[in-house]
Structure 1
Amino acid sequence: MAQHYDTIILGAGPGGMTAATYASRANMSVLMIDRGIYGGQMNNTAEVENYPGFESILGPELAEKMYASSTKFGAEYAFGSVLHVEAQNDGTWHVVTDMDDYTANTVIVATGAANVKLAVPGEDQYTGRGVSYCAVCDGAFFRGQHVIVVGGGDSAVEEATYLAGLADKVTIVHRRDKLRAQKILQDRAFANEKIDFIWNTEVEEILGDDKKVTGVRVRNNQTDEVSEIAAAGVFIYVGLTPVSEPVQALGITDANGWIHTNDRMETAVPGIFAIGDVRDKELRQITTAVGDAAIAGQNAFSYNENFKMAASEVTE
């Protein structure tokens, strides 16, 4: 028989681990499932400088500290890719992974979101060493330097404007001849003397030495002219996709795969909660994931207590 838990948390990033801390402290039996090492994208972050309590901390080190807290009160951790989650006749949930099956009274979805990559040489090699997908996270490391932003949508233009407050120069490289961002965002960027634009151009390779990014090789898609641009950092904003495939059959995602919740982190399906980057939200940060998780952990406890009480009344 599948092992049963009061709550199963899909994902062990900062949100998943915080939810595990809150739920297990409330004496719930808790299982975190993740297809990789705990910590999620924190493991790809060289330094975290905007998490309360730390002037600066390595991403993997923060992940270790969070994991220690999350398992202190008995929460368990298991490797596995969640294939799907399905309802059972008794009101519990069946979680199927590529390793084992489990059941739970509640499920907290903390699977996060994945950055759409350029899929060019050098991108993976220099991620965390000059290649970034988060200006708020990493922009401070490039004070007074030249950085490149790849993309032309809202995120790219907003983050370029943010980076302009830190960097000496920001160059937006866009594959089209005009931006797709909202006009107000475009106007701000065009008015910023630190921001310039390279149109109809695509990044073909991210260049670097044995330590860090040194620039990019680009190609003009109108003339096929190839050139190189020197830069200390490359911020990529060509899209973000939620990791929500395992729960899409539950009907809790929108057309793009994002999960909608109320302010209690409850989805449209009772007993299923969602937190962190997989939610349809504006700011995706470690701190916001942790905040979501505290709320979800507490409300999963309340739901679990009511569930057990209702079940006991049925059997009496």
Structure 2
Amino acid sequence: MGETRHSKVLIIGSGPAGYTAAVYSARAMLNPILVQGMQPGGQLTITTEVENWPGDTHVQGPDLMIRMEEHARAMGAEVVTDIITSLDLSKRPFVATGDSGTTYTADAVILATGAQARWLGLPSEEKFKGFGVSACATCDGFFYRGKEVVVIGGGNTAVEEALFLTNFATKVTLIHRRDSLRAEKIMQDRLFKHPKIQLLWNHTVDEVLGTDTPLGVTAVRALDVNTGAVTDVPCDGFFVAIGHAPASELVKDQLELHNGGYVKVEPGSTRTSIPGVFAAGDLTDHVYRQAVTSAGMGCMAALDAERFLAEHA
């Protein structure tokens, strides 16, 4: 049997939301334990250049997350390398089980497990991630000023990304596997009217083409779903916009979810449908999905938890 650890606040997840929650709850003398999870540092650890984090004109994603972890530790948070495999929110103290065998009990829980972009699953896509392949136009669009890009997808995310990329790229090709989009009508109208955007209907992407030295994208290979014909679409960047998957498996049968699995919080707060359980960052956010908004929500979650614990002492 593993040991049992109790804390006033248990933080699950270690992206900007989790580490910011740790900083604030540690400063409030709540002695938080933060369990890092499968990907310590979250999605920013697989992001190379970050140019929109306030105070840093240019920073590497992994370096930023190392600094956040160091900051949380310096404030007094305990950062644990473990993965939470089950979580019981039916009674307080809440009980979490770690893959290590450790049991964590807590008077309040902050969920910051994030969301992952859905990918096509191509080996060539994996090869060029961070070197021409991206799942975030607002993160990486700036790098394609004066260049041609391709977006794949047919929902609101894909249309938003395509329209956003027109601020930088000379041409945006949107590839969709059907002959109509799922996006809202008003957004489709904007897309169809934009002179920089070209649509390629009834196609999927079969392969990302590029160079090895330096590593970079030169084109995507598109496959006609009806005829099987292959077309190579030249581009410098390829944006995958087929949705995100929130990491809500631990709580999917316990907390109220919406919009395809995102944890629902009360407007203007991080309170979930269970008192004492708070959620922050991309796990709750299907709109912005930025490091800085996640960090802001991490701050809110720690303050919400502090108030909750003061009222239920």
TM-score range, shorter chain: over 0.9
AA in 1 matched with 2:138: V
Is 1:292 aligned to residue 297 of structure 2?
A: yes
Name the counterpart of 1:220.
224
1:97 Cα deviation (Å)?
2.0
Name the counterpart of 2:134.
132
Q: Is the Cα–Cα contact under 8 Å of residues 6 and 30 in structure 1 kept in the other structure?
A: yes
AA in 2 matched with 1:240: H
**1:75-109 CA-partner distances (Å, limit 9, x unpaired):** 112223222211465x2110112112110111001
**Aligned mates of 1:123, 1:80 — CA distance in 2:** 29
Is 1:44 aligned to residue 49 of structure 2?
A: no
**Aligned mates of 1:224, 1:250 — CA distance in 2:** 45
Q: Is the Cα–Cα contact under 8 Å of residues 263 and 272 in structure 2 kept in the other structure?
A: yes
AA in 1 matched with 2:157: S
**1:185-238 CA-partner distances (Å, limit 9, x unpaired):** 111111111100111000011112121112111110111001212211110111
1:245 Cα deviation (Å)?
0.5
AA in 1 matched with 2:233: I
Q: Is the Cα–Cα contact under 8 Å of residues 255 and 263 in structure 2 kept in the other structure?
A: no
Q: How does 1:79-158 map to 2 (within 5 A)?
A: 79-87=81-89, 91-99=92-100, 100-158=102-160
Name the counterpart of 1:314.
none
Q: Is the Cα–Cα contact under 8 Å of residues 38 and 67 in structure 1 kept in the other structure?
A: no
Q: How does 1:53-72 map to 2 (within 5 A)?
A: 53-72=55-74
**How many residue pairs end up in the alignment?**
307
**Aligned mates of 1:94, 1:21 — CA distance in 2:** 22
Q: Identify which of 54, 73, 76 aligns with 1:74.
A: 76
| SS in structure 2 of the partner of residue 264 of structure 1 | coil
Length-normalised TM-score, structure 1: 0.94
**Aligned mates of 2:152, 2:74 — CA distance in 1:** 42
AA in 1 matched with 2:171: K
1:54 Cα deviation (Å)?
1.2
Is 1:305 aligned to residue 306 of structure 2?
A: no
AA in 2 matched with 1:231: C
**1:251-310 CA-partner distances (Å, limit 9, x unpaired):** 3323722111122200010010000111044211001101111111111112122332xx
Distance 1:287 1:83, change over 3 A: same
Runs of at least 5 residues in structure 1 that lack an aligned partner in the other structure: 309-316
AA in 2 matched with 1:258: Y
Runs of at least 5 residues in structure 2 that lack an aligned partner in the other structure: none
1:36 Cα deviation (Å)?
3.3
Q: Is the Cα–Cα contact under 8 Å of residues 7 and 105 in structure 1 kept in the other structure?
A: yes
1:239 Cα deviation (Å)?
1.6
Is 1:195 aligned to residue 190 of structure 2?
A: no
| SS in structure 1 of the partner of residue 107 of structure 2 | strand
Q: Is the Cα–Cα contact under 8 Å of residues 121 and 204 in structure 1 kept in the other structure?
A: no
Name the counterpart of 1:181.
183
1:38 Cα deviation (Å)?
2.7
Distance 1:218 1:255, change over 3 A: closer
**Aligned mates of 2:207, 2:131 — CA distance in 1:** 15
- Indicate the larger mover: 185-194 or 248-257: 248-257
Structure 1 runs of 4+ with >4 Å offset: none
Q: Identify which of 237, 242, 245 aligns with 2:241.
A: 237
